Structure 1
Amino acid sequence: MIIVIVGGMHCFFSPAIAQTGIGTSNPQGILHVDGARDNVATGIPTASQAANDVIINRTTGFLGLGVLQPKVKLDMRSAGLENALGLNTTTMSAAAAGAGAVRYDVINAPVGAKIEVSDGSVWSKAYIAPQKSVVVARKITSQSITQGSATNIGNWNVVRDMSNSFDATLGVFTAPRDGTYTFLLTYNFNGVVINDGSRVESQFYNTTTSTVLASVYKTFGQSMTGTPDDANATRSTQAGGSSTVTLTLSSGTKVVTRLWHNLISSGAVTLRVTSSSTDPTNPDDGFNNLTIIEH
């Protein structure tokens, strides 16, 4: 074993296994640089100790940055948090750079910073598809809808919200980006004696501009007029329906679903919800739901 000290830099050479250590007397590869000189003298360095190291695997020749056992030719998936890869612009043609080359470009059209990949002929913008919004929610708490006044539907139970775009308490969806979104609302009220020729209107309301973006309505009639066999009493009706609208929204637009009705002359009608939210066989389960899908 030979120890060489040059200008304060400590190097370790072991001809028997042909490996070199810089800043460490315990190299783990054919070349091992311990940037912080914090590795253990014997044994395997910990992941945090190796996070500041550079190593060339003695068998494969793969280069690891903070990785003791690189799995690919350049592996920087270390325990540290500084695992970014820096790229700069280049004026090389795609053909000169060769297929598979990658650059960071802020000069050429389309305007704007971007990562580009060469296929050997042209530079093409690398596209990363965003996580599209998918919201699925259901009502499991009762809510009264006042006659003649649009009421925001809130206190939803969220089954899925893939982009964290839905405020379940307020019932407000915020568009994460410019795009097209489809809203599907199903609703059902508890039974009441309704006015003949009444209607229920589903509204999709922009809370920022205080405007109705779309509305769908359904009309209802009395289920049965008085006859001798029911003692001349009008029977109650469960008004319900579904509404589907597709909207083009700008990023940050906030939309809430609302219901308006004139089923009765005054007062409020409650939505039909389950009395046991954990029991899918409950006869009142699944009548009020909201689904939002980004295209």
Structure 2
Amino acid sequence: MKKRLAITLMIGGSLFIKAQVGINTSAPEAILHVDGQKNTVPSTSTSYYDDVVITSSGNMGVGTKLPKTRLDLRSDEHLNALGIGGTSQTASAAKAGAMRYNSGTQDMSYSNGSSWVALAHKAPNDFVDAENSSTQNFTSGTQATVINWTKKTDVNGSFNSGTGVFVASKTGVYIVSFTFSLASGTIADDSRYETLIQTNSTSTATNKVFKCVGSYPGTNSLSNRVAGSCSGIFNLNQGDNITVSLNQALGTAKTLDAAGSLTSLSIFGL
């Protein structure tokens, strides 16, 4: 009896060693073969795009049944991105060779065993260039955000032209320049205007508002075009916003000049 049991165990053990496990497939082609959508056609390379295999050499293939490395993502459908997230681990805890994504600076870094080292690649800096020919109306004595811009350039899609809100795609220093021109009209005596560049940034290294003021003291009997400009430098965190506003106190409602090139906005991230 013991002899028969020993033979049975030997045969069972041999079968176990040589076994291949298939999930969603009755014909596994590796030690472990998972056919995600149960659609694999043997020997048809394009049908393995949703498969995962582990070979007898310990290699794992995602989208390929013939992995050449410990982890091989090279499938015929070419949707082979590798997702890497951030980590709060120290470089020494993660050990040398670990990698992480830095959402604030939008770059990758690797651990050398003692510190995180940024890779040479750098995400494009934000750059916005816009004009405004919307003839937006501004009530005298009321501050209003300038809206309905026409974008000429927006490298990272960070600027909402309709609302006039810019959102920093990464942490850094930003230079903002705003110019405006109002349609010709009467100007009240001793009147003025303010152009404002504002941010919601929590950075202690930047001002919340840059204001530039223009004034028309004394008696103003003529009809004139009012124009002005303002610039500012901001330290922004990723997700902080910038808006530009106008507060004119010229006596009557004013509209932006219809010539778009006379009202412009540029934002550049360093």
Instruction: State the TM-score, normalized to the length of structure 2.
Output: 0.62
Residue ranges of structure 1 left out of the alignment (5+ in a row): 12-21, 25-31, 57-61, 95-100, 106-113, 226-233, 274-283
Residue ranges of structure 2 left out of the alignment (5+ in a row): 1-13, 22-26, 101-107
Alignment partner, residue 140 of structure 1: 133
Q: Is the 8 A contact 2:53 2:60 kept in 1?
A: no
Q: Is the 8 A contact 1:117 1:126 kept in 2?
A: no
* Among 254, 258, 269, the residue aligned to 1:269: 254
**What are the superposed Cα offsets for residues 227-251 of structure 1, whole Å, 9 maximum, x if unpaired?**
xxxxxxx653222132211123345
Alignment partner, residue 216 of structure 1: 212
**How far did 1:271 drift?**
0.4
**How far did 1:34 drift?**
6.6
CA RMSD across the alignment:
4.5
Q: Is the 8 A contact 1:207 1:256 kept in 2?
A: no
Rounded Cα–Cα distance in structure 2 between residues aligned with 1:162 and 1:180: 16
SS in 1 for 2:260: coil
**What are the superposed Cα offsets for residues 191-222 of structure 1, whole Å, 9 maximum, x if unpaired?**
1132466433211234699x961101234589
Correspondence 1:113-152 to 2 at 5 A: 115-118=109-112, 124-127=116-119, 129-152=122-145
Rounded Cα–Cα distance in structure 2 between residues aligned with 1:258 and 1:85: 40
Distance 1:103 1:191, change over 3 A: same
**How far did 1:163 drift?**
3.9
Alignment partner, residue 159 of structure 2: 166
| Residues 163-172 or 187-196, more deviating | 163-172
Distance 1:70 1:197, change over 3 A: farther
Distance 1:149 1:117, change over 3 A: same
Matched, 1:36 2:21: no
Rounded Cα–Cα distance in structure 2 between residues aligned with 1:272 and 1:53: 65
Correspondence 1:74-223 to 2 at 5 A: 75-78=72-75, 83-84=82-83, 102-103=97-98, 115-118=109-112, 124-127=116-119, 129-195=122-188, 198-206=191-199, 213-220=209-216
Higher relative contact order (CA 8 A, sep 6+): 2
**What are the superposed Cα offsets for residues 31-53 of structure 1, whole Å, 9 maximum, x if unpaired?**
x667126642344342425x424
Alignment partner, residue 19 of structure 2: 9
Count the aligned residue pairs: 228
Rounded Cα–Cα distance in structure 2 between residues aligned with 1:143 and 1:165: 22
Q: Which amino acid aligns with 2:254?
A: V
SS in 2 for 1:35: strand
**What are the superposed Cα offsets for residues 65-88 of structure 1, whole Å, 9 maximum, x if unpaired?**
433687989642435778457999
Structure number with the higher helix fraction is 2
Distance 1:250 1:34, change over 3 A: closer
* Among 241, 246, 251, the residue aligned to 2:228: 241
Q: Is the 8 A contact 1:220 1:239 kept in 2?
A: no
- Percent of aligned pairs with the same amino acid: 21
Q: Which amino acid aligns with 2:211?
A: S
SS in 1 for 2:262: coil
Distance 1:10 1:174, change over 3 A: closer
Rounded Cα–Cα distance in structure 2 between residues aligned with 1:238 and 1:70: 70
Rounded Cα–Cα distance in structure 2 between residues aligned with 1:257 and 1:91: 45
**How far did 1:172 drift?**
2.4
Q: Is the 8 A contact 2:145 2:243 kept in 1?
A: yes
**How far did 1:124 drift?**
4.9
Q: Is the 8 A contact 1:54 1:67 kept in 2?
A: no
Instruction: State the TM-score, normalized to the length of structure 1.
Output: 0.58
Distance 1:147 1:115, change over 3 A: closer
SS in 1 for 2:129: strand
**How far did 1:272 drift?**
0.7
SS in 2 for 1:286: helix
